[in-house]
Structure 1
Amino acid sequence: MKMNKGLATLAALCSSVFVVGTSEYLIAGLLPQVGADLDVSVGTAGQSVTAYALGVVAGGPLMALLTSRLPRKGLAIGLMLLFAAGSAISAAAPSFGLLLAGRVVSSLSHAAFLALALVTATRVVPAERTGSAIATVASGFTVATLLGVPLGALLGEAAGWRAPFAVLTVLSLLATLLLAAVLPREDAPSTRLREEIRVVTRRPVMLAIATTAVGFSGVATVFTYIAPLLIGVSGFSAAAVSGLLLAYGAGSFIGNIAAGRLTDKSMSATVRGVFGGLAGTLLLVPFAVVWQPTAVAAVLVLGLLATATIAPLQGLILRHAGAAPNLAVSANVGAFNLGAAAGSVIGGAIVAAGALRWTGLAGAALSLIGLALTYLVLPRTRTRTGTRTRTSEKAAGHEAPIVV
């Protein structure tokens, strides 16, 4: 019965994350319609994407601090209702200013809800399945990218850009009901505000957050411009690129789940293996894209590895955060978004310099920096006799605890 309750909780959290994740990039495919309807340029309409991202990066930690003493179940329901309100404002917005307001309102719940979902997920499974629980919840985002965003864009093309936001409003309300039905009741956390701040400023936690931001920026440097790369260099048609991106999304889903299971066995080996694989793949991208078969292989491998960082990196944060994880996990969620934004800027500068083909080299360098940072977050220790020992996997329950 306890296992069934745990599975129901994970399913509810994953479904809710799917709804939230769909909202983040949905509007990117609807910008021309938004601009025409609200009488702004496409470039101005694109600020709605930026506003959401900034809301996640800045608002997530702020919301985590403001809600740190609230009961977890009530907070989850409240955050989903806040998201529903933002979606409803966006759907009904008569002006671009109100659309921005709706996007910011939704974004405020994004990082805080995901952080809450990840922490809750690890509490309803045995300690040795922490990585799998994180990956299960995070898969809501990969499915959102794979299905939610393109389906929302299709709905927007057929029924207008407001329709997907109206559907998101309904789905978020349904997710709220599901959370109310299955989430276990928990007492309000006993941790104080200063404890949350003290945890997030600890060296291992800050290094783990930096690893997330730097490492994920390597993926974003290439992926942000993957469509023009495949069309302009590899010679694929736009339709073929759409199919490849679908395959990329499917690979991301598989890679995330697989990394969760591997994290249960060895967090350090998984995170280093993923970053090493990313560095190698990104390094080969500029050479692989000149021939279509190798370009396809590079896209598929990149998809498998891109989201495989989520489970081990979030596991790192949870391991070092101890009894005060909410702010730290929320900040790490923001670090993924910050990394995506930084990677887009770096890739954009390379593309503007006429070096579209070579974005992979910058991505590989960033992934290597991320790999190097993992050795600071998960350093090897020595026994009293000087023999090297493996890094702690306390979270997975397999190796001796690390001293930090």
Structure 2
Amino acid sequence: MPLPLYLLALAVFAMGTSEFMLAGLLPDIATDLDVSVGTAGSLTSAFAVGMIAGAPLLAALARDLPARASLLGCLLLFAAAHAVGAATTSFPALLATRIAAALANAGFLAVALTTATALVPPDRKGRAMAVLLSGTTVATIAGVPGGSALGTLLGWRAAFWAVALLCLPAALGVLIGLRGSGEPARPLSEDGTAPPALRSELGRLLRPRLALTMLLGALVNAATFGSFTFLAPVVTVTAGLDDLWITTVLMLFGAGSLTGVTLAGRLSDRHPGLVLAVGGPLLPVGWLALATLAGKPAALFTLVFLQGTLSFAVGATLIARILYEAAAGAPVMAGAYATAALNTGAAAGPLVAATALGTAAAERGPFFASGVLALAALALHTASIRRGEPPR
């Protein structure tokens, strides 16, 4: 894999750390800015909405810009948003910076996905995508616990400053690593001709196969983030463990996600059907097993790792399929479609899981909700196979 690809992954690591570490900082933010924890939670929702809207919007705006300029601009905007957020004493201002950061994150990821697959031969798109997304999985293993620990020791503002500073070497890497890369963010079509007009690329969303693959990706990601968001109360209440074990469980999930992305990178280019055929049925079984056995620490630790592996193996394969499906008719917007599907699931999953917390299942409820979401994805995929239109 080319060096620029790993430099892009470094930037994705910084952005993933910012996105996920907020869960551990909300109480501190609420106290410091004199708002309720529920109000502070809107920072997460604002970020998710910004990610969904920002991917297609910024990808469209960056069509005629060099990839390096687009990526660098998004990184600097992301860093600036965190610097302003770290310095503000106003909650509305902090909320605005989260939206700006989300737009920058979405724009970067949309262009980076397209750029990453352009850096490698066509038959290695899946591996390139896996390397890029490994930045997110490493963030769940190291960045998120590190950010939370920094916030605990020095306050939430220190965590925001750390993310801003982390963007600087990533920006330098993009600047140097893509030097001489004057090609526009708008890549050529697979046949080597100029890409279609924006209206034509947007029209690809009406293609059943692409729409189905995006929906499957959103459902799997909703199941993933629905349970990931509410792992902490499962650890402390259901399993009866000390707060210190929360970080261990989150790191186990992160280690599983890295394993899953690595597997997807190896298999999604040539054997995507195998990943979906094996992982698809196991996902809902695993979520329901977690809901049943979460009270036993050994089972909790094992299943959290396995579900992290399965979720990201299946999810990453579906993202690769989105890139493949859209590449011929929407080479510029392909990354935006993958990003939008990913973040639609990330936004919807916690909302669905939160409603399950109020049921008789209590802290186990999100696992049941994830099982239902994964079953819905499996049912749609099975129906598509019978119609002869599964993701290829």
- Same fold per superposition (TM over 0.5): yes
Output the CA distance in 2 between the equivalents of 1:348 and 1:27. Answer: 17
What SS does the aligned partner of 2:246 have? Answer: helix
1:243 equivalent in structure 2 = 248
- The answer to whether the 8 Å contact 1:85/1:105 transfers is no
Output the CA distance in 1 between the equivalents of 2:246 and 2:265. Answer: 28
- The answer to whether the 8 Å contact 2:4/2:177 transfers is yes
AA paired with 1:363? S
* Equivalent in 300, 309, 332 of residue 338 of structure 2: 332
1:229 equivalent in structure 2 = 234
* Equivalent in 14, 23, 27 of residue 28 of structure 1: 23
Output the CA distance in 1 between the equivalents of 2:168 and 2:151. Answer: 20
1:17 equivalent in structure 2 = 12
- The answer to whether the 8 Å contact 2:12/2:136 transfers is yes
Deviation (angstroms), 1:55: 0.6
- The answer to whether the 8 Å contact 1:80/1:109 transfers is yes
Which has more radius of gyration?
Answer: 1
Output the CA distance in 2 between the equivalents of 1:38 and 1:150. Answer: 23
**CA distance 1:114–1:375, shift in 2 (3 Å):** farther
Deviation (angstroms), 1:206: 1.4
- The answer to whether the 8 Å contact 2:140/2:251 transfers is no
Deviation (angstroms), 1:328: 3.9
AA paired with 1:38? L
1:168 aligns with 2:163: yes
- Please give the residue correspondences for 1:87-166 in structure 2 after superposition, counting only pairs within 5 Å: 87-166=82-161
- The answer to whether the 8 Å contact 2:284/2:370 transfers is yes
Output the CA distance in 1 between the equivalents of 2:101 and 2:224. Answer: 25
2:38 equivalent in structure 1 = 43
What SS does the aligned partner of 2:35 have? Answer: coil
**CA distance 1:208–1:377, shift in 2 (3 Å):** farther
Deviation (angstroms), 1:362: 3.1
What SS does the aligned partner of 2:269 have? Answer: helix
Give the structure-1-normalised TM-score. Answer: 0.87
Question: Mean alpha-carbon deviation: is it higher for 74-83 or for 198-207?
Answer: 198-207
- The answer to whether the 8 Å contact 2:116/2:132 transfers is yes
2:300 equivalent in structure 1 = 295
The count of residues paired between Structure 1 and Structure 2 equals 380
Cα shift readout 1:320-358 (whole Å, capped 9, x = no counterpart): 112423434323323222223322222222221221335
- Please give the residue correspondences for 1:209-288 in structure 2 after superposition, counting only pairs within 5 Å: 209-288=214-293
Give the structure-2-normalised TM-score. Answer: 0.89
Runs of 4+ more than 4 Å apart: 375-381, 390-393
Question: Mean alpha-carbon deviation: is it higher for 326-335 or for 132-141?
Answer: 326-335
Question: Mean alpha-carbon deviation: is it higher for 234-243 or for 98-107?
Answer: 234-243
* Equivalent in 308, 322, 345 of residue 313 of structure 2: 308
Output the CA distance in 2 between the equivalents of 1:361 and 1:53. Answer: 23
Deviation (angstroms), 1:234: 2.8
Output the CA distance in 2 between the equivalents of 1:327 and 1:379. Answer: 29
Structure 2 spans left out of the alignment, 5+ residues: 187-193
Deviation (angstroms), 1:36: 2.5
Structure 1 spans left out of the alignment, 5+ residues: 1-5, 382-389, 394-404
Cα shift readout 1:233-256 (whole Å, capped 9, x = no counterpart): 333332233322222211111111
**CA distance 1:379–1:64, shift in 2 (3 Å):** farther
1:374 equivalent in structure 2 = 381
What SS does the aligned partner of 1:307 have? Answer: helix
Identical aligned pairs, as a percentage?
A: 37
